[in-house]
């Protein structure tokens, strides 16, 4: 049986194992970890004491660790760079698990987190620009023959250490990446995506949401530098903080990040077993402060509607984990998707029983409130408040950081958000009139 040791800092948490004969995974906690005063299970579905059969436990283990891996082309590049099959989860975790999202580091047995020296390899601006332009020739995630990303998602990005206005690739003891760097996409129609995300993140911050800090830079290609909320600078280096995304919190594999996990075809559109708003709000029972959690989730949900982010799915929301429970992490990956004309804008998670923004009116939001266990009067009041604040903020955010092309696009985002603010006030009025007997 193959094993990898899971560490958080210098503490051994447990062992991830894989039995090739049965195809089953397992995760067993170290007695030393469970004895620590602040110890906690790494996932609600991987408790200290197994409460499920081996096959069910194995499925939960696989889902948890599979959610740590990149997706799409980034996963293909990682597999190729390490000479592995795409479906070899254990092999990929061995290759990529030293620095994944959150605090866990997966190492071969016998190796400890401080057994290798800290290494910093600077990325110059010219080199970064060249690598952005050469993505047709070599994957952006592979540098110096090593995969520099073990974070979920489809978009090109690498994990970097940012210090004194300089970028580094890092590995070894006492050091970890502090930021995620996201370049402009290769697809020409998405040339404004970096500006789009920057604007939406700053808008969310301006209206009071907790968001990851972002910075728009040009090398000269636009790149977004996103501060990692699962990292913390300390006097002794970089401390890693444990987080889980919604798929991990809900015991779902990454393929279930969309509510309609089999798609929207005529014969399968009724199947809604993936991540959903109602399931996300249900996680409040695991929260340190359930009322605070619910309000934060409500504002996150309404904000997706305000900006037209149809791709707000189960891997675009995360939670800090501690012995006391979970807390909603800062928002990330906030993008106005509907402004792009060549995209399908079906909602990743339905509002009530609708999967389109146009149909999300008072009745559907009333269904949303009921499904999520929210008082609809509270929801209506918060909609009106957020619309009022967003109206002012969307016009007051500075423009001088954008190019003329980006500014033209941002004007479309502004116009959409402004129209959504007006619509939200109307929806709130409709919502208050919906009889509970009708939903």
Residue 99 DSSP code:
G
Rg of the chain, C-alpha, whole Å: 22
Cα–Cα distance between 264 and 247 in angstroms, integer?
20
Q: Which two tokens stand for residue 192?
A: 């404004």
Pairing of strands 142-143, 179-183: unpaired
Active site residues: 311
Q: Which two tokens stand for residue 85?
A: 């099959």
Phi, psi at 56, each rounded to 5°: -70, -40
Pairing of strands 243-245, 237-240: unpaired
Residue 150 DSSP code:
-
**DSSP letters for 411-437:** HHHHHHHHHHHHHHHHHHHHHHH--GG
* Beta partners for residue 120, in sequence order: 170
Cα–Cα distance between 371 and 279 in angstroms, integer?
9
Other C-beta atoms closer than 10 Å to the C-beta of 164 total: 4
CA count, 13 A, side-chain hemisphere, 112: 5
Contact 349, 317 (CB under 8 A): no
Contact 66, 75 (CB under 8 A): no
Q: Return the ∠ at Cα 19 (arms to 16 and 22), rounded to 5°.
A: 135
Give Cα separations from 133 to 126, 140, 219, 220, 338 (angstroms): 11, 10, 11, 11, 27
Helix (H) or strand (E) holding 108: strand 104-108
Contact 46, 28 (CB under 8 A): no
């Amino acid at each position: 049986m193959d094993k990898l040791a899971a560490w958080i800092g210098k503490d051994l948490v447990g062992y991830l194992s894989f039995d090739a004969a049965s195809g089953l995974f397992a995760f067993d906690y170290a007695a030393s970890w469970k004895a620590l005063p602040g110890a906690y299970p790494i996932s609600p579905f991987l408790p200290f004491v197994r409460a499920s059969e081996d096959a069910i436990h194995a499925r939960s283990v696989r889902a948890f660790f599979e959610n740590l891996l990149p997706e799409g082309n980034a996963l293909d590049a990682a597999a190729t760079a390490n000479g592995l099959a795409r479906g070899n989860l254990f092999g990929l975790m061995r290759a990529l698990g030293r620095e994944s999202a959150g605090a866990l580091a997966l190492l071969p047995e016998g190796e400890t987190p401080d057994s290798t020296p800290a290494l910093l390899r600077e990325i110059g601006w010219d080199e970064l620009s060249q690598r952005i332009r050469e993505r047709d020739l070599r994957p952006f995630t592979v540098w110096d023959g090593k995969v520099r990303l073990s974070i979920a998602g489809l978009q090109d990005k690498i994990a970097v250490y940012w210090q004194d206005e300089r970028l580094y690739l890092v590995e070894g003891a006492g050091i970890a990446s502090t930021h995620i760097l996201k370049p402009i996409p290769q697809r020409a129609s998405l040339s404004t995506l970096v500006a789009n995300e920057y604007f939406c993140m700053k808008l969310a911050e301006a209206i009071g949401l907790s968001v990851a800090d972002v910075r728009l830079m040009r090398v000269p290609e636009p790149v977004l530098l996103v501060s990692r909320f699962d990292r913390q600078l300390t006097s002794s280096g970089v401390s890693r903080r444990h987080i889980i995304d919604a798929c991990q919190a809900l015991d779902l594999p990454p393929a279930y990040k969309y509510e309609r996990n089999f798609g929207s075809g005529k014969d399968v559109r009724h199947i809604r077993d993936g991540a959903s708003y109602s399931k996300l709000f249900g996680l409040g029972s695991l929260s340190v402060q359930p009322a605070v959690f619910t309000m934060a989730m409500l504002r996150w949900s309404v904000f997706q509607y305000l900006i037209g982010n149809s791709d707000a799915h189960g891997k675009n929301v995360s939670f800090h984990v501690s012995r006391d429970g979970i807390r909603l992490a800062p928002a990330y990956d906030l993008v106005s998707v509907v402004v792009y004309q060549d995209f399908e804008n079906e909602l990743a998670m339905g509002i009530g029983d609708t999967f389109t923004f146009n149909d999300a009116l008072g009745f559907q939001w009333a269904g949303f409130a009921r499904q999520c266990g929210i008082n609809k009067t509270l929801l209506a009041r918060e909609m009106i408040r957020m619309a009022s604040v967003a109206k002012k903020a969307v016009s007051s955010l500075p423009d001088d950081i954008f190019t003329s092309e980006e500014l033209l696009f941002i004007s479309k985002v502004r116009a959409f958000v402004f129209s959504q603010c007006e619509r939200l006030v109307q929806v709130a009025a409709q919502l208050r009139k919906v009889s509970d007997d009708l939903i």
